Amino acid sequence: MTSPLVKAKSEAEIYINTVFEQMKKKYYHQTEFLQAVEEIFISLVPVFEQHPEYIKHNILSRIVEPDRIISFRVTWLDDQNNVQVNRGYRVQFNNVVGPYKGGLRFHPSVNESIMKFLAFEQIFKNSLTGLPIGGAKGGADFDPKGKSDEEIMRFCQAFMTELYRYIGPDVDVPAGDIGVGGREIGYLFGQYKRICAAHEAGVLTGKKPGYGGSLVRTEATGYGLVYFVEEMLHDHKQSFLDKTVVVSGSGNVAIYAIEKAQHFGAKVVACSDSSGYIYDPDGIDLNILKEIKEVKRDRIRTYIDYRPNASYTEGCSGIWSIPCEIALPCATQNEIDGDAARTLISNGVKVVAEGANMPSNLEAINEFLNNGILFGPAKAANAGGVATSALEMAQNSSRTYWSFSEVDEKLHNIMKSIYLECKNAASTYGFEGNLVVGSNIAGFVKVANGMISEGVY
Ligand SMILES: NC(=O)C1=CN([C@@H]2O[C@H](COP(=O)(O)OP(=O)(O)OC[C@H]3O[C@@H](n4cnc5c(N)ncnc54)[C@H](OP(=O)(O)O)[C@@H]3O)[C@@H](O)[C@H]2O)C=CC1
Ligand SMILES: O=C(O)CCC(=O)C(=O)O
């Protein structure tokens, strides 16, 4: 992709360039947000060239400004009865397609820029699912590492005591993300119920099955990612069978991506956490990994205590130097830069697909696309999680439960149709095989048309 944001020529390029320059001036300090906006804007040039009505309605200036940003203090008591204070956020970015929808992240790095980039991407991802969900994201600069279960509970209760007034099954439906899984959703849901005195199951997704949670939601992002890659591979007459795979992270997305990739016959040889990575030449033993990460909540380095042939390396970026045919970044944003991309390519990677949100920076994406690597962008490849959240909302509002296989089949079909939609959008606009352009265009067009239909506000 060449950046038309450098030298604008056509009316569409001038418009896009002007809006982006205004953004840069206004939000110069929000680097992650600007990065996410730039990637989308570059892809939209051909759409704006064919649809001047989007310029007339000034869609871009409107779509980059969140409907609202809610920011609040979260005050809670630690186990020593000390008063602790964090900052909480909910960015309700766009509800043109449906109620605001998107996860909550609890991580010390959380700030307004990260919240905005995630919520902005969520608009287009959610639109791609074909389900009626708008875009949002939230979280807090709270570090769950080393906290007791009771501290996690008190933090979640304090967080919900502020957030509850802004959410609801038809208003805004949060879910999990980094640092927020079934345990945290349970505590958040309990507090919402306590305050509102109502069992509004559809107010949060990612609940455990038994009180409104959907089967497959835990597995959905990782499984969905692998279903998406399976489509990319099929289209090139290949499969997962016997492929060597490297997955970064060892959280919710990574674990279930590893599970499904192994199920399809791949050999997953490495994964990581924020301290370092493990390499297991015999293939990762998922039972051990789940015990370490899901049960003990321990560090990945302890994996080598159980597997004598495995090794551990401190620091996480080195994971991309392990030779593989398929790389699945499933940890966090900007974990693959230009150098890491070039290393992967020179070691023979054939497919890169993003389980995390924005794990590859723009330089890395360009390296992959320019070198003929099959590249599955996050908005499309990791949409299975939020799609299954929307299936959870559907089950909650119809007061029913679907079986594991029923939800899994729906997820599989959604991932297939997202792939087709991105592929078709790319070729319609002359970018055959470029799923970055395809996903951005397909996600954008539905939202932009909705904005025009719903009038100026
Ligand atoms: N959960 C979901 O349904 C969805 C998640 N995503 C995205 O997937 C990614 C992973 O989320 P999820 O698996 O849910 O989160 P988890 O909290 O379950 O796991 C995150 C994993 O990434 C590692 N990690 C976190 N921050 C860093 C960092 N700065 N450097 C290196 N490793 C890091 C963590 O290591 P450690 O334990 O040491 O912190 C952990 O292994 C995120 O980008 C998220 O936005 C996208 C779609 C849906
Ligand atoms: O399931 C959801 O609502 C949130 C998923 C999410 O946070 C994401 O897609 O990044």
Is 252 annotated to bind a ligand? Reply is yes
End-to-end CA distance of the chain: 33
How many other CB atoms sit within 10 Å of the CB of residue 311? 13
Round to whole Å and give the CA distance between 244 and 262: 10
* pLDDT at res. 229: 98
Residues 60 and 124 occupy one common structural domain:
no
Q: What is the CATH number of the domain that holds 93?
A: 3.40.50.10860
Beta strand pairing status for 135-140 and 172-175? unpaired
Q: In total, how many domains does the chain have? A: 3
Residues 257 and 343 occupy one common structural domain:
yes
CA Rg value for the chain: 21
Residues 60 and 75 occupy one common structural domain:
no
Q: Which two tokens stand for residue 140?
A: 């807090």
Task: Please check the confidence at residue 5 and state whether its pLDDT lies above 80.
Answer: no
Residues 161 and 227 occupy one common structural domain:
no
Q: Assess whether the C-beta atom of 216 lies below 6 angstroms from ligand 1.
A: no
| CB contact at 8 A, 105 and 139 | yes
Average pLDDT value over all residues in the chain: 97
Note the pLDDT tens digit of each residue in 388-410: 999 999 999 999 999 999 999 99
Residues 16 and 125 occupy one common structural domain:
no
Is 137 part of the annotated catalytic residue set? Answer: yes
Residues 239 and 268 occupy one common structural domain:
yes
Q: Evaluate whether residue 272 is within a structural domain.
A: yes
Round to whole Å and give the CA distance between 353 and 363: 16
Region 7-12 average pLDDT: 82
Round to whole Å and give the CA distance between 227 and 232: 9
Distance 277 CA to ligand 1 centre (A): 14
Is 122 annotated to bind a ligand? Reply is yes
| CB contact at 8 A, 271 and 252 | no
Q: Is 377 helix (H, G, I), strand (E, B) or coil?
A: coil
**Boundaries of domain holding 30:** 11-64
Last residue of a domain, one of 381, 412, 429: 381
Whether this model's pTM surpasses 0.95: yes
Atom of ligand 2 nearest to the CA of 388: 1
What percent of the chain shows pLDDT beyond 90? 97
Res. 447 pLDDT band, cuts 50 70 90 = very high
Atom of ligand 1 nearest to the CA of 275: 38
Measured by CA distance, the residue closest to atom 42 of ligand 1 is: 356
Task: Please check the confidence at residue 232 and state whether its pLDDT lies above 70.
Answer: yes
Note the pLDDT tens digit of each residue in 64-85: 999 999 999 999 999 999 999 9
Last residue of a domain, one of 381, 399, 419: 381
Q: Assess whether the C-beta atom of 121 lies below 6 angstroms from ligand 1.
A: no
Residues 309 and 285 occupy one common structural domain:
yes
Q: Assess whether the C-beta atom of 382 lies below 6 angstroms from ligand 1.
A: yes
Round to whole Å and give the CA distance between 113 and 107: 14
Q: Assess whether the C-beta atom of 356 lies below 6 angstroms from ligand 1.
A: yes
Using CA atoms, how far residue 124 sits from 118, 212, 337, 382, in Å, is 11, 27, 23, 12
Note the pLDDT tens digit of each residue in 348-395: 999 999 999 999 999 999 999 999 999 999 999 999 999 999 999 999
Q: Assess whether the C-beta atom of 218 lies below 6 angstroms from ligand 1.
A: no
Round to whole Å and give the CA distance between 258 and 247: 7
Amino acid making up residue 431: F
Q: Which of 137, 147, 207, 446 is catalytic?
A: 137
Measured by CA distance, the residue closest to atom 27 of ligand 1 is: 274
Measured by CA distance, the residue closest to atom 3 of ligand 1 is: 385
Helices (H), 308-455: 338-346, 362-370, 378-381, 384-397, 404-428, 435-453
Round to whole Å and give the CA distance between 21 and 122: 23
Is 129 annotated to bind a ligand? Reply is no
Interface predicted TM-score (ipTM):
0.99
Note the pLDDT tens digit of each residue in 280-289: 999 999 999 9
* pLDDT at res. 457: 82
Task: Please check the confidence at residue 7 and state whether its pLDDT lies above 70.
Answer: no
Is 30 annotated to bind a ligand? Reply is no
Residues 302 and 350 occupy one common structural domain:
yes
Residues 60 and 74 occupy one common structural domain:
no
Q: What is the CATH number of the domain that holds 225?
A: 3.40.50.720
Residues 108 and 42 occupy one common structural domain:
no
Region 39-50 average pLDDT: 96
| CB contact at 8 A, 150 and 77 | no
Distance 341 CA to ligand 1 centre (A): 20
Task: Please check the confidence at residue 435 and state whether its pLDDT lies above 80.
Answer: yes
Residues 22 and 166 occupy one common structural domain:
no
DSSP one-letter string for 76-95: EE-TTS-EEEEEEEEEEEE-
Distance 381 CA to ligand 1 centre (A): 15
Considering only CA atoms, which of 426, 424, 355 is closest in space to residue 43? 426
* pLDDT at res. 9: 84
Q: Assess whether the C-beta atom of 126 lies below 6 angstroms from ligand 1.
A: no
